[in-house]
Chains A and B, each alone.
Chain A
Amino acid sequence: MALSLAACGGSGDSAGGGSDEIHVLVYGDATNKVEKQLVDTFNKTSKVKAVLDTIPGADYQSKLQTIISGKQAPDVFFNWGGGSIKPYVDAGLLMPLDDFIAKDPGLKSRFLPSVFDTAVVDGKPYGIPMRGTQPVLLFSNKKVLADAGVTAPRSWDELLTTVKALKAKGVTPIALGGGDKWPTQMWFQYIYDRVAGPEHFQKAVDGDKSVWASADSKKALGMLKELIDAGGFGTNYDSVKFTDGGSPALLATGKAAFELMGSWEYSTLQDAYPDFVKNDLGYGTFPTVEGGKGAPDNLAGNTNNYYSVLKTTKHPEAVAAFLKLMYSDQFVKGQLGIGNLPTTTNTQQFLDGSASPAYSTYQYDLVKKAPHFQLSWDQAFPPAATTTIYQAVQQFFNGQTGPDAFIAAMQNLPAA
Chain B
Amino acid sequence: MTTAAVPTVDSTDKSVRRGRSSRSSTGVGRPGFAWAAPAAAFFGLFALVPLVLVVVLSFTRWNGLGSPEFVGLDNWSRLLDDPVMVKSLWLSLFLTVLGVVVQTPISILLGVWAAGRQRNRAVLSAVYFVPLLLSITAVSVLWRAVLDPNFGVPSEATWLFGDGNLFGTQAGAIGVLVFVSTWQFTPLHTLIYQGAARAVPQVLYQAAQIDGAGTVRQFFHITLPQLRNSIVTSMVLMVVGGLTTFDTVLILTQGGPGNDTTNSAYYMYQKAFKSFDFGAASAIALLLVLVATLVSLAMVRLTGYDKMRSTMEGV
Contact (Cβ within 8 A) A236 B256 = no
Contact (Cβ within 8 A) A236 B275 = no
Select B149's contact among A66, A69, A236, A395, beta carbons within 8 Å. Answer: A236
Q: A181 to chain B: which residues have CB within 8 Å?
A: 254, 256
Select B274's contact among A178, A239, A383, beta carbons within 8 Å. Answer: A383
Question: Which size class do B's interface residues fall under?
Answer: 20 to 34
Assuming the contacts A179-B256, A394-B256, asked whether A240 and B66 have C-beta atoms less than 8 A apart, the reply is no
B231 within 8 A of A: no
A403 within 8 A of B: no
Chain B 163-203: CB-based contact to A (< 8 A → 1; otherwise 0): 11111100010000000000000000000000000000000
CB interface residues, A 280-314, toward B, < 8 Å:
none
A-B contact count (CB 8 A): 91
Expressed in whole angstroms, the Cα–Cα distance for A178 and B150 within the complex equals 13
Q: Which residue of A lies closest to B141 (CB)?
A: A244
Contact (Cβ within 8 A) A240 B257 = no
A161 within 8 A of B: no
Contact (Cβ within 8 A) B144 A244 = yes
B276 within 8 A of A: yes
A114 within 8 A of B: no
A153 within 8 A of B: no
Nearest first, the 10 A-B pairs at minimum CB distance are A238-B168, A236-B165, A239-B167, A395-B258, A91-B65, A236-B149, A384-B275, A239-B149, A62-B273, A236-B163
Chain B 97-128: CB-based contact to A (< 8 A → 1; otherwise 0): 00000000000000000000000000000000
Listed by A's residue number, 22 A-B pairs whose Cβ atoms lie within 8 Å are A62-B274, A65-B276, A68-B65, A69-B64, A87-B276, A91-B66, A178-B168, A179-B256, A181-B256, A236-B168, A237-B168, A239-B149, A239-B168, A246-B150, A249-B151, A383-B274, A386-B275, A387-B274, A391-B256, A395-B257, A395-B258, A401-B258
A120 within 8 A of B: no
CB interface residues, A 367-388, toward B, < 8 Å:
383-387
Q: B277 to chain A: which residues have CB within 8 Å?
A: 384
Q: Which residue of A lies closest to B84 (CB)?
A: A391
Assuming the contacts A88-B65, A238-B167, A239-B166, asked whether A246 and B256 have C-beta atoms less than 8 A apart, the reply is no
Q: Which residue of A lies closest to B65 (CB)?
A: A91
Q: Within the complex, what minimum Cβ distance (angstroms) separates A127 from chain B?
A: 18
Q: B65 to chain A: which residues have CB within 8 Å?
A: 65, 68-69, 87-88, 91, 93
Q: A249 to chain B: which residues have CB within 8 Å?
A: 150-151
Q: Within the complex, what minimum Cβ distance (angstroms) separates A402 from chain B?
A: 13
Residues on B facing A (Cβ under 8 Å)? 63-66, 141, 144-145, 147-151, 163-168, 172, 254, 256-259, 270, 273-277
Number of interface residues of A (CB under 8 A): 36
Q: Which residue of A lies closest to B270 (CB)?
A: A387
A235 within 8 A of B: yes
Contact (Cβ within 8 A) B275 A240 = no
Q: Which residue of B lies closest to A238 (CB)?
A: B168
Q: Which residue of A lies closest to B269 (CB)?
A: A62
Q: Within the complex, what minimum Cβ distance (angstroms) separates B269 from chain A?
A: 10
Q: Within the complex, what minimum Cβ distance (angstroms) separates A273 from chain B?
A: 13
CB interface residues, A 233-283, toward B, < 8 Å:
234-241, 244, 246, 249-250, 255
Known: A235-B168, A383-B274, A400-B258. 8 other contacts (CB 8 A): A65-B65, A236-B163, A239-B167, A244-B148, A249-B150, A394-B257, A398-B257, A398-B258
Q: Within the complex, what minimum Cβ distance (angstroms) separates B14 from chain A?
A: 36
Residues on A facing B (Cβ under 8 Å)? 62, 65-66, 68-69, 87-88, 91, 93, 178-179, 181, 234-241, 244, 246, 249-250, 255, 383-387, 391, 394-395, 398, 400-401
Assuming the contacts A236-B149, A391-B258, A394-B258, asked whether A383 and B66 have C-beta atoms less than 8 A apart, the reply is no
Contact (Cβ within 8 A) B164 A239 = yes
Q: Within the complex, what minimum Cβ distance (angstroms) separates B295 from chain A?
A: 27
Q: A384 to chain B: which residues have CB within 8 Å?
A: 63, 275-277
Q: Which residue of A lies closest to B253 (CB)?
A: A179
Contact (Cβ within 8 A) B64 A66 = yes
Q: B147 to chain A: which residues have CB within 8 Å?
A: 239
Q: Which residue of B lies closest to A392 (CB)?
A: B258
Q: A91 to chain B: which residues have CB within 8 Å?
A: 65-66
Assuming the contacts A87-B65, A246-B148, A394-B257, asked whether A387 and B167 have C-beta atoms less than 8 A apart, the reply is no
Contact (Cβ within 8 A) B151 A246 = yes
Contact (Cβ within 8 A) A179 B167 = yes
Q: A246 to chain B: which residues have CB within 8 Å?
A: 148, 150-151
